[in-house]
Structure formats: C-alpha cells, structure tokens
Structure 1
C-alpha cells in the first residue's frame, strides 16, 4: 500500500530545498542594498535592525518588510498599518541616593513605585547566577536592615527598570553611585592555624581591640568574626596515624578542615578571646585547605552572620599555598564540591572528607553571588601566587602580611580604603545581551569607555552609562523575558533590569485581531497573520492555493517553470514557481522589473555609459537585457551617433581631414610611418616631417655658411624662394600653422627654424635661430696624455712609499738586533756543567832533557 503521507512529506522537502535555493539567491542580491526586503515574516523583519513590517491587507506584491528611511514605497503603507516598535524604558523603582550624614534613604524621585509595571519575566538562566540582591526584593516596604531600625541605605540609583529592546539596537541606561557615610561593614577573619602560624595567632589575639577601633574610625556600624582552617583529615594531607590524629605536633589540636569560631559580632573582646583560645594544628603537605574554608565562610551566610546590606570583607590569612579542584583525588575524594553550606552546630565543616576542594571558578562564582570582598593577606613568599589568584576572583585583592602578622591592622585598613574608594560596575546578563559601560568618573570631560572609577570619597556621586544591546533572540521563547542585574562589585545592592526582547509581533499571537486561523484568505489551508498567509504542510503559494498531494502534477508544474529540459533551476533562479507559473522577484527599486515567462528578462542589466543605463532615456531604453536605441543613436549602450557630419571640418572637406575614420561621431586619427595625426578632425601632425628636410640645406648655408651648399655658389642659385629671418628664440605658433624644424649639422651643432607656407603665392616664411648650439670642444690628446701622466705619477708615488716603508722596517730590525747582541752575556762560571777545555802539547823533538 502506498504511503501517501511519506510521498507528501518528500515532495514538501524537495520544494523547500528548491525554494530556499531561489530565496538565498534573492537574499544575496537584496542584502547589498536593503537587508529588510528579504525578510518574509513579521518576526524576521523586526529582528532586523531599522526594519518595519506592513500589516495592510491587499498590499500587493511589494515587500512587506521595509526600511522606512531608505525604501521609496515606504509611504505607501499607512502609519496605522506599520509595526515598527521602538526601544522603551520605564523606571520602576528609583529612591534617591543616601547622602553623607544621612543614614536613611531619601524619598523616591518618582514617588516610590512608578505605576504598576509588571513584566511577564520568567526565571531565565541569568537568575541562577544572580547577585545576592535579587528579585526577592531586598528593598522592603519599610526599607529596614538588620536590627538597627534605620531605613536601608541607597548607594545605587535607580534600583529597578523595565526595558523593551529590539535586536541590535543600542539603548543607553543611566545610573548613579555614591558611597554612603557609616555604611555597615562585616569583617570575617579566616586564619590558617597550621603550626607555622602560631606566632601570628598570638599577635592577632592582642590586636583585636586595635583592629576594631581602627575600623570604627571608618564606620560606626562594624562587626567582626573569626574562623580557622587546616586541611582535609586524610592522607597525604595530614598524618592519619592514630597518635597524630589526636596530637599531630607539640601543643597542637587535632586537625580539621574548617571551623567557625565566632559569628560576626560587635564584641571585640570576644574576638580576642576566641583567637587566643584557638589552638594550632598540623598537616603534612605544604598547601592548605583554604579553598574549603573560603567556600564555607562565603555560602554559610546565616552561620557566619553576614548582613543583607553591608560591605562584606573576608580577610584570608596564610603563609602557604592552596589545594584546588582535582587535588582531592590524592586522598580518594572524587565527589565535586557542591558549593553548599555544611557546618554542624559546633561550626565544623562536615563534608571535608566527602567532597573535593572547590575550583577557582566556583570560588569566584560564590564570591560574586554573595558580594564579598576577599583580602588575601599572605606572607611575602606566597604573594606572587595570590596576586595571580586575585585576578580571577572578582572584587578580591592581595597584600603582604608580615611574618608574625603584626601589620594586620594597617593591612586591613589600607585594603579597605582601596576597596571603598573604588567602584566597579559589572552585570550577570546572558550571552544574548551585550553591555558596555562608560563614565567620566569625577572629571568634567567627556565619558570614556570604562566600568571602574577610583579615588572616590564618601558622598561623591559617580554617573555611569550602560549601553545595552540585545545581540540575538534565544531559541527558547521563554528566554525572551529575562531579569539581570547591574551591580557595584562587593556591594550588596544592584540595579535590577526587567528585559523584554522584542523578537515577535503581536499579530502573530492567536489572540490578536490580525490573526485568523484557517482563514478564507488562505483558501482555508493556512493562518492569516500580519497580512500574509502561513500555509499548512500540504499547501503553498501566496494564498495557499497550491497543493503538494500529487507528486506527478507537482513535478509537471515544476517543469513548466523551466525554459527547457536542460535547466535544473526554476524561473532562472530569479523567481518562485507557484503552481507552474513563475512569480518573479521584486526589486528594492520599484522601477527595476524582472519579467518574462521564466523571469528571463529585466530592464536594469543593459550596458551603461557614464553610469547611465543605455546612456540615459534620451539615448535608449533597456528591454530584456538589451538597449533599444532612439533614432540617431547606435551602439551597445546607445552612446554613438548614427551620422558622420560631426567628423567633417567646419570649412568643409574630407571626413577627419582624410587622416582618420569616424566612430561614434568622433574622429579616430591614423598613425602613419611619417607621424601621428591628432586634433578633433585629425588636421594636425606634430611629429610629421613636412618641408623641414626641403628647407634645411638653404637655411644652413644662408644662416650659418655650413652644409652641402656652402662650398659653391649653389646657395645663391638654389635658395631663391626665401631669406631666413634671424631671431634669438625659435617658437612655433600652431594657431598660425607654423612648423618647427630641428636638425644637427656635421659639427654636431643643433640649429632650429620655423616655417610657414603661403598656399596662395607658393611662398614660405622662415625664422631661424641666430646661432647654433654647439657642444664645447674637447681636447682629447691632452686628456689622454694627462691620464697617462697621472697613472705614472701614481705608480712612482706607490714605489717611493714602498721603498720608504721597507727602509724604515729594515733599520728597526737592525737596531733591535744590535741591542740584543750588546745585552748578551757569555759568563761560563754561571753554568754548573761547564768544564774548561784541556789542551795537551807535545814537542816531538823534546827528549826530556
């Protein structure tokens, strides 16, 4: 049995592919001029920058998506039928900034809540990573915080806005920040209590009151807390020998992961006592379990006592490195850290041996969510490591702690001053939203692109501008409504933005008056929305008039849109085949038309001349790709005149003076061996020789007494038609038809003359230069002998120099030899092996008598 449903779906896919091929070609052409006209639905249209959609019924074949500032026929769609939404901003909650000296929030600039703005926002992905000040409404009706009874302090304004934004259209949101006086501060001191930090603990216990007094000079609302850490109680981090588990070192407590000794409190005496009573412990490896402690100190908000509205400082003090995610495998712990609080009633971390260390990104995420400023107070040996770590943890800083922590008070004061005197704006918007910040900070100059300002004091007001751009519409329509926050780093306040992305049109909603399901306008096979038909899967065409139920008739209809069997593209790729008939593309310019049974013709692709189609309407018109010329014009672009009258000289004569051809009503001059003709009518030939050679000999003998006629009386007999006129400078005047002649004679001298013919009396006027231009005489013999003499002299000089140098060298060698000979000593007594020669003489005639 034939499965008609599969056949129908197959045909639909074929048609979609063919339609997409033609549509892609159409889009490529239209995008060059106007990206709007290629959009076929209202949703696609308003997701394109600066585009508007026409809802008007019976709008014809013109593109419904248009750019009002560019499209010529935009005015044909009345304003009441045009859907072109603009970006909208509505301030929901705007309380005045708390100024210096005031502990209560000012009145709302708009009277509290401005209207009853209600955004149908859903919990998007941004809410899961939101700042701690979220949609829960930290700004309560009473505006109170803690137990102080004071109204909440406001440091950022406005506090909540609603935005409706189109895709890729910038919106500027202005906000202000001011540091309030006596802003609450919570400081939690998290200390490494391994054995190497024993002297630091003793020093800190003595400095508790001084630390409290120092911070109270900054703010009257200050609380202090204390916690400590060692490491996971597992090998190889600590020794698991039973004895070592009880007493890992002398005067040491049993090891532990993290312990909250003191919840945040104003009792500084208790802080010093808790630090003094806390015993140190010991571990084996150098790195500590500091990340476990930071995670618990950050996320255990109730146990630590972090207030909702306060600047939260976490001072992390250590003299060693840190373990991070993955190191737990060394001790057999493979469960990732879940980022939740796990403290028991004694304040001990219960999951130290059950979960791995947190990663740097996990620590950064929790620090951001809870708006905590971490101060890494570490010894100089670890400062480089923690400086790099602070660049990856938002709102953190690093400072060098002395070996015994004696400078901890100054360190906390200085780091708090750096933190409080700076403001850095960040956000938790999703990837579909791009936000850039600009501000002039405390200066009066133009704003620059920055999200951070330094050098602030209490009461200073800094203005920021956030440029918000929705870069794309998320695939899930629920994400078209989002809530994100813009917040100052380390401050538990934020500007909440209720964002509605304008990704669709109201007329696409079934509840809209412009929406008709199974509309008669669509032959009952589709929905009529936003002025067009959206057909079901079995029909197509502008009014859903074509069916794909019969595969044979569909193939036959497709063939009717092709000029022959060799073509595989419907309507020559410039139209859409609808029920066997080509519907040609519509051009952005209404005067440009594609026509023909197979969309093979147009009136805009003909040859152009000087940028004009067919040289303009006065010369010709374009029809099916060819120029139809007006009478009197010829050529591919109708740019040539059809007459030769314009090529004849004004006084009459041959076409182009007989030295050229007439093309397009203009002379194309000849190039001959004698020269090149020029001029409008080819009447000039500057390079032609003319009568120059004929007059040369006579001018030479009459003016300069040179040449072949100068040695006899032939000059007087032959040169009778003219007598040259002497001039200093020879210049030819072309308007008087004068010809300049230049020659070189047998002496290599240059001479010039100008002649003018008089046709009526066969006479000629000649003006010649008075003197010839001869090159200076060169005495070659003198030059040759001079060169020879110079070479000989150079040779003699070289020989003399060589002789002089050799003589000097020989004399120096001889003098050195004489000196060495005079200094030589031949004392034999100095040689221990020297023996005097013995000579024996015997006289043969001596008889002994």
Structure 2
C-alpha cells in the first residue's frame, strides 16, 4: 500500500511538472525576435515592441526590441515606450430594446452597429441582446400548387382571405398577405405540349381549366382581405404529366423578386401548399434544360416566370441559401402522404416548419398559426455573409434556463416567450491581417433588424516618433521610425554610422584577436566592423551565451533576472545563483514575528532553531512526549506527508531508516499519522546525541495483506473450479443412467419374433406358349 501511494504521488507530480513546464516552454517560444515593429506585432499576440532609443545595447541587434511586454519592461523599457496594440470594441449605435407594438418603433436586436478591431491571434468578444416584442409585423405570401389534384383546396382558399387576416391580426396589427401559384415547367416531359392538351390540360372536358405555367405571381402583399378573395377567386386549376411539381422554381422567384412581391423588413412567411413532390437540380436535363438556376428574378409584367425553360430547377442548398439571405421562413403545408418527405426537406432549410394539410385545406389557418408560433419562439442568430479570409466566429447562447457554447453555425434559443430577453456572446478571432475594413452582418432569422460589424485588424505600429533625418541616426543620416533607423542611401549600420567604402577590412573588428573562426562566433552579423549579436548572445564578439545560466523550476534565472554571459543578473530583492532566493520576508511572517522568533528567514522560508518545528517554527518539540516530538519528522521522511512535508529536510535533522516489519515491543512508538494510518517507529540516541528513527515500513504487513488477498482469491477460484468439476461429473453420471434406461425400454418393447402360420412367400410362374420341350 505504501509503495502504491508513492507511485501515485510521483505520477501526479510528473503530470504537474509536465503541464507547467510545457506551458512555460510554449509561452517562451511563442514570441520570436523580429526586425521591425510591424512584423513583431503581426507574428504573435504576446509580442510587443520597445521603441525606446537607448533600449538596445551597442552589440545587440534591433530584433531584441521584439519580446513579450513583461520581458521588455524587465529589461528596462519604459511602459510608455512599449508598442503593444490590442483589440478594441467601439459601439456605434445601441438603441434600447423596446416592448412597443408600433411597427416603426420596435427594437428587438441590440446593439445595431459596432466597430471591432482584432489583433491577429487574439480573440475578441461582444454581447448581442434580443427581446421578442409583442405585435411584430408579419408579411405572409401564400404559394399554392394549382395542379388538378388541388382542385378542392383552391375552392377553400378562395374563401380564406378574411379568416387568415383575422387570425393574424390577433397576433399583430400590421399584417399583409399575398398570393402566387405554380404548376411545372412548360416543356415535355413535365406538361403536354399538344395543342388540345395545352389549351385544356384537365382530365374533365367541361370543367374550368387554365393552360399550364411554371409560376405566376397573382397578388402582391396587401392588407385588404376582399382584394385577396377577389383575386384568388379568379384562379383555376391546371394540369401536368408527372406527380412531381415545379415548386422550387416558384419559391426561388418569390425570394428573388422582392419588389414585385412587396416584402417589407418584417417577419416574412412563405406558406407553400402542395400534395405532390418536387423537381430539383438536374431534373431539367430531361427537358433539354442544362443552364443552372441563377437565383435572379425573371417575372414579366404579368407576373409570369417566362424563362423557366432556360434555367434548371434550383438545388436544395441553393434554395436554402437564398431563403436565408432573404430572411424568409417557409411553412410547408402538405398532405399526409407527403409529410415525411417535407419533414426531411425542412431539416435542410433553416427556420422552416412543416404541417399536415387536410385533403381540402380546411385546416390551413390553424396550421399557419401553429407554425408561426413555433418559428417565432425560436431565436437563431447567424452571420448572413461569408466570413473574411482568416476570420473565425463562434457563438455562446444564454437562453435563461439553458446555455450552449462554441457553435460555429450560430446561436440558438428555443421556447422564447414574448418580452423574454436572451443574450448571445459572439467570439471573433483573426489569424491574418485584413487588407481593409470588412463589413459583417449578424441578424436573427425571421426578423428584419440586423447588427452591422465593421471589422479591422491592428497590424500597424502607430509609434508617433517618425523623424526624417533624425539626429539619433548619426546626425541625420537616416529616418527614425519606432526606435530604429532607416539609413539613407550610402549609409549602413544600426545607427547609420558608416559607409561601406570607408571600411578597409569590414570583418577585422568582428573576429576575436587572430581567430580564424566564424565571424561574431556565428552568433551575430558584422555591421560597420562591429558585431551585432542575435537575441541570445552578447559581448563584443557575441562570445557570451545568454541562455546558459542556472535555471530554477525550469525557468532561466527563475524568471527573476536576466542572463548575461552565463551569469544571472538578478532584479532587486532577489539573490542566488539562479535568482531563486527572494529577499522578501513576508513568507516568514506570522502574527508580526519572523519565524515566531524561533528561527531565521532564509530565501523567504523559516529555518527553525533546535526544539522548534513547523513552517513558521511555531511547534514546540520539547513541549510534547518524545514520541510526539518526533512523529511529524518520522511521518514526513517516511511517508512524505504531515505538517512538515513542505520543508522536511530543513525542519528535521534526525536520521531516519525505513526497515521492514520486525518484532515490536514497548520501546516502539505507535502514533496515528495525519492520513489516519498507523505509524510505528523506534527512537535511538548515539554517543554524539544524534537521534536515529527506525520506521516500520509495514512492507511485511503489506506482504501479508497481499498474500491474504491472493490466497482468498485463489481459494475462491479453486472452489469455483471444484464446483464446476463436481457438476460435470454429476451430469455425466445422470446422462449415462438415462441412456441405459432408454436402451432397456427399447428392448422390452421389441417382443418375440415367431413364424406366422398364415404367411406364404410370393411365387411367380412364367409360361411360354411356344416352348416345346423337343
């Protein structure tokens, strides 16, 4: 048990060290030196640039100006001289949410406009609020299949206008309805082009019937119920050849022809009624139509889709995209035989609903109301256009009683009541710099309002120190930008201090004495006869390695100093070879006393006097029994637990031996450890007064326990095997007896075999009449 406990402790310690070291390593390696401020801040969000003129040493390169902000400030860069642009959010328009039922003053979505600046690699967040208002306006367009099978439905729709408007006006005061119809493409094999069938495609000769058409826009959106009923009453059914209809063509035109339909920026509902299936992209090839649907409006002055014979049917994906961009919510009112098909279609079209239509459409008003309530209670926040390259977006939904996080498709809240407030946290990240400001539109599907986001990236340094012919650049021989000099023609050097033609041997000053080794020891560049060292090197010839200093807890100079030529230069209040020792005494203070006045503070930790124990030397060893005095040391050295586990080596100077179990008598101390286990140890003093603690490792007990458990398991297994063997023997004996009994019964039932006196064997006599014996 003790061994298992130690293995678990070592495993958790290993995981902790790996996590911390991995994090520190990734943090250190994430920001690399860059030659300019622009390249620096674009490389990683943790990078910053120091524009301070005297920040870089004579032998250092300007790439040393690029480092994390804390490191730059540690190295002496003033906070005001650090260029570290961060992402910013500026709200441009944020009208308060309202509960008004007046169309012109309703505000359900806030804010309305924001400007967002992104630092590449750094995530920015903002909150979008939505409150479902009462009485939000509705536009409803009724799109009906006028193939001959919908004849009964048309008769009911002719009387529908007033009922539908009345029902919708119970929801909102501002409602408009319109009407359109469809059959199929007017070419073979969808409709008959024979002259007689073209004029009268219906099967009954004397019934009213109109010629086939693809889609006809009959009535623009209006709030006049009488006009709706009057216009619809003039419609007649038509006919086609196959059971599939051209409904997708009609839906595309309804979405594309916004002006002809009269759509407002309100809730837009498209009621689609049919008892048939649909044609989709690719079916047009049967009629010789190969051009893909262009998603544009092609209605003539009479409202007819005249170019259906030129463009193929739209695909489901194309239709879903156009409906989403047009903010139209389709309601598929279909008969029971087609219900399952349209339910599967609805899964592919955002914010759509499906309802079962009776054979004569008598329940269509209630169906529309139910679908409207279902659609309105679901709030979907999405971005309406393609994201700029390198930009990612995720949504966190806060719906009151539920939350979802990290959905890239958009935020969603279901079951939202009127006047209920829901919020979405939008998280945006950019991996690259945007060439210019990009517009991103967020909106709630089915609502005319939208949030416009002006996206830009912080990829340029606004240092504010641009100086042409700056005195800092060797008296005006270069232009100063962000602390570095851009030399004029004919000058080189970090400060533009020399001309190439003035250097007789430009590499002479970059070699250490008569060394024939690499220039600047391979750790820098030779500029103007002097070495400019890379980030981790220093010295006149870059001979010093600034990464070879002592480390503490895996960090160079413990993170409390700077490495120079293999030696840690500690910050104030730190000392030690790795700057690991803090001169602060706050860790030794308790109740206003240093180490409880019973020790001295070394590296902000207490070293206790003899007879005192504990992290602050507050435990009196002489005030307890000998067993109690040495219990904590025995426990921390043997088990690694107890109050002295953190500074066991400092607080306990006893010699501790951990031995297997042996004979235990009255001399042995039997104490309870902090974890509740039994701690058994023996105290012995030598001639010099030193104390040796012999701790019972309890390995014997562990071994006995293991043997006991093993014996018990083996015993149970053996007993189980024995039971199985006995069971098989009993079954075998039983089977043998049953077989023997069965054979005996068979012999008894057979009886004696005797001759039957009436039995005669069959004989056959053949006579040849032509046979003569002679």
- The answer to whether residue 227 in structure 2 is matched with residue 283 in structure 1 is no
Instruction: Name the CA shift for 1:36/1:272 in 2 (closer, same or farther; >3 Å).
Output: same
- Find the aligned partners of 1:519 and 1:579 in 2 and give their Cα distance: 19
- Find the aligned partners of 1:401 and 1:821 in 2 and give their Cα distance: 81
- Find the aligned partners of 1:37 and 1:292 in 2 and give their Cα distance: 57
How far off is 1:600 after superposition? 5.3
Instruction: Name the CA shift for 1:594/1:506 in 2 (closer, same or farther; >3 Å).
Output: closer
Deviations 1:121-147 (A, max 9, x none): xxxxxxxxxxxxxxxxxxxxxxxxxxx
The 10-residue stretch of structure 1 (179-188 or 315-324) with the greater mean CA deviation from structure 2: 315-324
Aligned-CA RMSD value: 4.6
Structure having the higher Rg: 1
Match of 2:37 among 27, 32, 42: 42
Aligned to 1:171: 124
Aligned to 2:51: 55
Q: Does the Cα contact within 8 Å between 1:178 and 1:462 map onto a contact in 2?
A: yes
Q: Does the Cα contact within 8 Å between 1:37 and 1:64 map onto a contact in 2?
A: no
Alignment of 1:494-643 (within 5 A): 494-507=450-463, 514-516=465-467, 527-534=479-486, 541-543=493-495, 574-578=523-527, 581-587=530-536, 593-595=537-539, 597=541, 599=542, 601-602=544-545, 604-605=547-548
Instruction: Name the CA shift for 1:600/1:268 in 2 (closer, same or farther; >3 Å).
Output: same
Q: Secondary structure at the match of 1:350?
A: coil
Instruction: Name the CA shift for 1:219/1:515 in 2 (closer, same or farther; >3 Å).
Output: same
- Find the aligned partners of 1:559 and 1:194 in 2 and give their Cα distance: 96
Aligned to 2:65: 64
Alignment of 1:344-743 (within 5 A): 344-428=300-384, 429-443=387-401, 451-474=411-434, 476=435, 478=436, 481-507=437-463, 514-516=465-467, 527-534=479-486, 541-543=493-495, 574-578=523-527, 581-587=530-536, 593-595=537-539, 597=541, 599=542, 601-602=544-545, 604-605=547-548
- Find the aligned partners of 1:609 and 1:530 in 2 and give their Cα distance: 35
Aligned to 1:91: 91
- Find the aligned partners of 1:154 and 1:608 in 2 and give their Cα distance: 60
Deviations 1:298-352 (A, max 9, x none): 12112111112x2100112223333333433333333333322221121111221
- The answer to whether residue 211 in structure 2 is matched with residue 254 in structure 1 is yes
- The answer to whether residue 287 in structure 2 is matched with residue 331 in structure 1 is yes
Deviations 1:741-785 (A, max 9, x none): xxxxxxxxxxxxxxxxxxxxxxxxxxxxxxxxxxxxxxxxxxxxx
- The answer to whether residue 253 in structure 2 is matched with residue 296 in structure 1 is yes
- Find the aligned partners of 1:438 and 1:497 in 2 and give their Cα distance: 17
- Find the aligned partners of 2:450 and 2:404 in 1 and give their Cα distance: 22
Aligned to 1:103: 101
How far off is 1:31 after superposition? 7.0
Instruction: Name the CA shift for 1:537/1:468 in 2 (closer, same or farther; >3 Å).
Output: farther
Match of 1:820 among 750, 768, 771: 750
How far off is 1:221 after superposition? 1.9
How far off is 1:570 after superposition? 6.7
Instruction: Name the CA shift for 1:560/1:220 in 2 (closer, same or farther; >3 Å).
Output: same
Instruction: Name the CA shift for 1:575/1:248 in 2 (closer, same or farther; >3 Å).
Output: farther
Instruction: Name the CA shift for 1:536/1:225 in 2 (closer, same or farther; >3 Å).
Output: farther
Q: Does the Cα contact within 8 Å between 2:214 and 2:308 map onto a contact in 1?
A: yes
Q: Does the Cα contact within 8 Å between 2:468 and 2:478 map onto a contact in 1?
A: yes
Aligned to 1:765: none
Unaligned runs of 5+ in 1: 1-28, 105-149, 508-512, 588-592, 616-620, 626-683, 687-730, 737-797, 836-849
Aligned to 2:82: 82
Q: Does the Cα contact within 8 Å between 1:224 and 1:265 map onto a contact in 2?
A: yes
TM-score by length of 2: 0.63
Match of 2:192 among 234, 239, 245: 239
Deviations 1:600-650 (A, max 9, x none): 5525437989979999xxxxx99789xxxxxxxxxxxxxxxxxxxxxxxxx
How far off is 1:501 after superposition? 2.1
Q: Secondary structure at the match of 1:33?
A: helix
Q: Does the Cα contact within 8 Å between 1:90 and 1:163 map onto a contact in 2?
A: yes
Q: Does the Cα contact within 8 Å between 1:67 and 1:74 map onto a contact in 2?
A: no
Deviations 1:459-510 (A, max 9, x none): 2222332233333213x3x2xx122222111111012222332221234xxx
How far off is 1:267 after superposition? 2.5
How far off is 1:186 after superposition? 0.7
Instruction: Name the CA shift for 1:812/1:154 in 2 (closer, same or farther; >3 Å).
Output: closer
Instruction: Name the CA shift for 1:563/1:296 in 2 (closer, same or farther; >3 Å).
Output: farther
Q: Secondary structure at the match of 2:181?
A: strand
Q: For this pair of structures, how many residues does the alignment match?
A: 568
- Find the aligned partners of 2:553 and 2:227 in 1 and give their Cα distance: 93
Instruction: Name the CA shift for 1:574/1:410 in 2 (closer, same or farther; >3 Å).
Output: farther
- Find the aligned partners of 1:609 and 1:74 in 2 and give their Cα distance: 19
Match of 2:225 among 258, 262, 268: 268
The 10-residue stretch of structure 1 (336-345 or 238-247) with the greater mean CA deviation from structure 2: 238-247
Aligned to 1:12: none
Aligned to 1:204: 157
TM-score by length of 1: 0.58
Q: Does the Cα contact within 8 Å between 2:124 and 2:428 map onto a contact in 1?
A: yes
Aligned to 1:642: none
Instruction: Name the CA shift for 1:492/1:540 in 2 (closer, same or farther; >3 Å).
Output: farther
Q: Does the Cα contact within 8 Å between 2:538 and 2:565 map onto a contact in 1?
A: no
Q: Secondary structure at the match of 1:243?
A: helix
Aligned to 1:761: none
Instruction: Name the CA shift for 1:487/1:401 in 2 (closer, same or farther; >3 Å).
Output: same
Instruction: Name the CA shift for 1:573/1:828 in 2 (closer, same or farther; >3 Å).
Output: farther
Aligned to 1:711: none
How far off is 1:520 after superposition? 7.3
Instruction: Name the CA shift for 1:812/1:341 in 2 (closer, same or farther; >3 Å).
Output: closer
- Find the aligned partners of 2:293 and 2:544 in 1 and give their Cα distance: 70
- Find the aligned partners of 1:235 and 1:562 in 2 and give their Cα distance: 90
How far off is 1:454 after superposition? 1.7
Aligned to 1:13: none
Instruction: Name the CA shift for 1:280/1:70 in 2 (closer, same or farther; >3 Å).
Output: farther
How far off is 1:561 after superposition? 7.2
Deviations 1:666-701 (A, max 9, x none): xxxxxxxxxxxxxxxxxx9x9xxxxxxxxxxxxxxx
- Find the aligned partners of 1:82 and 1:607 in 2 and give their Cα distance: 29
Instruction: Name the CA shift for 1:568/1:263 in 2 (closer, same or farther; >3 Å).
Output: farther
Instruction: Name the CA shift for 1:493/1:807 in 2 (closer, same or farther; >3 Å).
Output: closer
Aligned to 2:263: 306
Q: Does the Cα contact within 8 Å between 2:146 and 2:237 map onto a contact in 1?
A: yes
Q: Secondary structure at the match of 1:495?
A: strand
Unaligned runs of 5+ in 2: 1-23, 568-656, 660-681, 688-728, 764-774
Q: Does the Cα contact within 8 Å between 1:31 and 1:38 map onto a contact in 2?
A: no
How far off is 1:805 after superposition? 10
Instruction: Name the CA shift for 1:317/1:596 in 2 (closer, same or farther; >3 Å).
Output: same
Q: Does the Cα contact within 8 Å between 2:395 and 2:425 map onto a contact in 1?
A: yes
How far off is 1:541 after superposition? 4.8
How far off is 1:530 after superposition? 1.9
How far off is 1:182 after superposition? 1.5
Q: Secondary structure at the match of 1:473?
A: coil
The 10-residue stretch of structure 1 (215-224 or 409-418) with the greater mean CA deviation from structure 2: 215-224
Instruction: Name the CA shift for 1:570/1:373 in 2 (closer, same or farther; >3 Å).
Output: farther
- Find the aligned partners of 1:162 and 1:297 in 2 and give their Cα distance: 34
- Find the aligned partners of 1:436 and 1:333 in 2 and give their Cα distance: 41
